[in-house]
Structures are given as structure tokens and as C-alpha cells.
Amino acid sequence: MGRMDNQRHDLLTVVVACFNEADSLPLLHPRIRRALDGLEGVASRILYVDDGSRDATWQRLQEIAAADPEVALLRLSRNFGKEIALTAGLDQVTEGAAMILDADGQDPPELIPEFVARWREGYDDVYGTRVAREGDSWLRRGTAAAFYRVIGRLSHTPVPADTGDYRLLSPRVLAALRQLRERHRFMKGLFGWVGYRRVALPYRRGARVAGRSKFGLWRLWNFALEGITSFSTAPLRIATYLGLLTALVAFFAGIVVVFKTLVWGDRVAGWPTMMVVILFLGGVQLIALGTIGEYLGRLYEEAKQRPLYLVDAWHAPAGVSSAPQ
């Protein structure tokens, strides 16, 4: 039985998106280095993507690359957000597998050998699933749980709960991802869309080693909207059903009103009821319009066909001299 893969099992690139991580990187790099040195039979590289940082991240990265010949660097022209920074990094991995890590040490590099072991067993998408979220507040945990429940119900693409971007992707998954060029990139959904053989790897998610989270509640809320609108059209359907339901209720209410007028006459009462109905319907209409607008706006963004990101600077490891594609 043949499988559609021409996979190299001997090359791994660790991809790290960094945005204002000058304090964590010097702590993180030695840990990644140690984990990779412990791997047997797998050559490895590390690719740091500087997502338009405004602190000393790029300097720190250059120092790291000067001391470590297996480090490649990519700097984007501005801050594009984590999803795009990861896309830019993964685009560069044209050989072997890729391992995605956060720059803040929340995804322990010490587990890389376990990810690689699953890859060698034949899995294509080995994703880390959090059994504990030590660095997160109860609010963050609660909203995350609610989000996974909603997206699990609405989306036809599997998005495993409590799973982030901490994962290993096989060469054929990377090749597939390169074909998905949508601008609104909800990576967890894209990974799920690709499919192939997937396996979860449970881990304890610790707190950041330095600095603070870039994802406040407002950004997370927008991230959740992104996820839902990118992978489900259910909100549009909900708007339709809401409309149908209101029309049905209005129809029966109309019958009652006509009946009452015929039997008891019209005494011009019911002004409060009318206001309530008008306000309610106005609200429902605005919500439905807004929902359509969300999708329309995304369609507009896609239609512009802009490049996903622009590269400002590039540092290739010794022996590799190709410019980013």
C-alpha cells in the first residue's frame, strides 16, 4: 500500500514567531539548542521570524545567529500578527518537517524529541494539547473553553480543544498549507482542514519566561470572530432562522390583534408593546446586517489579493544562501 508522501524523516526546522520578545529569546534559545542536540538521526535548524518587533528582538536574534550556525532569521516589514508570521516561517520550510514553538517558553522545547518520535511513527500533524494552563487567568481559561465549544459546534473542520500552534508538521502538511493562501488565517482551522494523520500530545503549559502576553481580551475576541467566520457560515444561517422565527411570531401576533380589534374595537392602546416590537426588530436587523458585513468585509480583503507579508531582512544559516521565496 502506497502513501502519498515523499517524506524526509531526517530534517527538522523549528519555527519561532517573535514579537517584542527580546527578554525571552536569550532564555529560550539555549533550551531549543539543547533539545535539538539531543535528537538522534535528525539534522535541525531554527528559524526565527521577527514579526516587526519594536524592541531589541532583532539585535538579540542577530547575536544568537552569529553564535549558532544553524539559525536562520527572517524579519517582516512590520507587525503582521502571529498567524502571518508563522505562515512566513512555514513558507521557508521546503524540506523536512517543521516544529512550531512560541518564543516565550510557554511551549517547552524539551518535548521536541517526543514530537519527533510521533512523526517517525508516521503521524503528519502532532499537536500539543494543554492539560494545564499555568500562566493563564481564570477569565482566559473560561473564555478559551467557551470558544472551543462554540467552534466545535459551528465548524465542520475539526479544531481540537485546548490546542494551540505548538505542533510538528510533516512535509506533506507543509506542502498543503502552502496552497492555502487566504488572507484571514486562522491557523488552527487550517491545520485541521489539511487533515492527514493527526495525534495529540498532552503537555503542561507553563507561564511566560519573560515579558507579557500580546493577546489581550479584545484581541482574543477578534481572534475568535476570525476563527468562526473563517471556518463556518453558521452565523449567516442563524440570522436567517432568527428572521423566520420573528416573521412567524409576527404573523400570529397579527392574527391576535385583528381578532381583538374586531371583537372589542380599537381603543388605541398598546403603545409600549409597539415600541418594544420596533426596538426588538431593529436590533435583530442590525445584528443580521452586521453578520453579513463581517463576511462581506472578509470577502473584500480576499478580493484585494495582496501578498500575505513582506520581508525586510533575511539571514540564512551557513551553507544555505537562498533568499526567501
> Which residues are 313's β-sheet partners?
75
For the CB of residue 19, give the shortest distance to Mg ion in the complex, in Å. 10
> Which residues are 40's β-sheet partners?
none
Query: Given the complex with ligand UDP, which of 42 and 187 has the nearer CB atom?
Result: 187
Question: CB under 5 to 8 A by kind: which of Mg ion, ligand UDP, none does 60 bind?
Answer: none
Q: Is 229 in the site for Mg ion (CB under 5 A)?
A: no
- Helix ranges (DSSP H) in 49-181: 57-67, 82-92, 112-120, 138-154, 171-179
Query: Given the complex with ligand UDP, which of 189 and 235 has the nearer CB atom?
Result: 189
For the CB of residue 227, give the shortest distance to ligand UDP in the complex, in Å. 14
**What does DSSP assign to residue 54?**
S
Q: Is 230 in the site for Mg ion (CB under 5 A)?
A: no
Query: Given the complex with Mg ion, which of 104 and 125 has the nearer CB atom?
Result: 104
Rounded alpha-carbon distances, angstroms, from residue 173 to 39, 101, 120, 179, 324: 22, 17, 15, 10, 20
For the CB of residue 219, give the shortest distance to Mg ion in the complex, in Å. 12
Written as one string, the DSSP assignment of 238-289 is HHHHHHHHHHHHHHHHHHHHHHHHHHH------HHHHHHHHHHHHHHHHHHH
Give the number of residues written for the chain.
325
CB 317 within 8 A of CB 70: yes
d(CA 147, CA 174): 26
Of the candidate residues 83, 104, 124, 226, the single one contacting Mg ion (CB under 5 A): 104
Question: CB under 5 to 8 A by kind: which of ligand UDP, Mg ion, none does 162 bind?
Answer: none
Q: Is 107 in the site for Mg ion (CB under 5 A)?
A: no
> Which residues are 311's β-sheet partners?
76
- Integer-rounded Cα radius of gyration of the chain: 25
**What does DSSP assign to residue 199?**
E
For the CB of residue 29, give the shortest distance to ligand UDP in the complex, in Å. 13
Of the candidate residues 106, 170, 232, 291, the single one contacting Mg ion (CB under 5 A): 106
Q: Give me the phi and psi of 11, to 5 degrees please.
A: -140, 130
Query: Given the complex with ligand UDP, which of 20 and 230 has the nearer CB atom?
Result: 20
Question: CB under 5 to 8 A by kind: which of ligand UDP, Mg ion, none does 81 bind?
Answer: ligand UDP
Q: Alpha-carbon dihedral of residues 311, 315, 317, 322, nearest 10 degrees?
A: 50
Q: Please report, as ranges, the residues that interact with ligand UDP according to CB under 6 A.
A: 17-19, 21, 51, 79, 81-82, 85, 102-104, 106, 213-215
Question: CB under 5 to 8 A by kind: which of ligand UDP, Mg ion, none does 176 bind?
Answer: none
For the CB of residue 212, give the shortest distance to ligand UDP in the complex, in Å. 7
Query: Given the complex with ligand UDP, which of 215 and 280 has the nearer CB atom?
Result: 215
Query: Given the complex with ligand UDP, which of 19 and 231 has the nearer CB atom?
Result: 19
Site residues for Mg ion, window 116-175 (CB under 5 A)?
none
- The residues near 164 (Cβ < 8 Å, ≥ 6 apart) are 102, 107, 128, 130, 188
Among 16, 21, 57, CA closest to 214 = 21
CB 108 within 8 A of CB 23: no
Question: CB under 5 to 8 A by kind: which of ligand UDP, Mg ion, none does 17 bind?
Answer: ligand UDP
For the CB of residue 272, give the shortest distance to ligand UDP in the complex, in Å. 47
Interface contacts to Mg ion, rule CB under 5 A: 102, 104, 106
